[in-house]
Amino acid sequence: MLTQSQIDIIINTMKPFNPIKIGVFGSVARNESIESSDIDIFYSFNSK
């Protein structure tokens, strides 16, 4: 499970790109992560 601090870091890192959606997938999203797990992030945005 992501901590609020990790969520804030993800949001603040992605904010300059103006995403319309940010999410996680993989073991973190399934609440099956272990200490050495990475965080898989997806995002979408409107292209111009």
Rounded Cα distance, 2 and 22, in Å: 14
Q: Where are the domains of the chain?
A: 4-45
> Is residue 48 over pLDDT 90?
no
pLDDT tens-place string over residues 2-45: 889 999 999 999 999 999 999 999 999 999 999 999 999 999 99
Per-residue pLDDT at 29: 93
Q: How many CA atoms within 13 Å lie on the side-chain side of 10?
A: 17
pTM for the model stands at 0.74
Per-residue pLDDT at 44: 95
Per-residue pLDDT at 11: 93
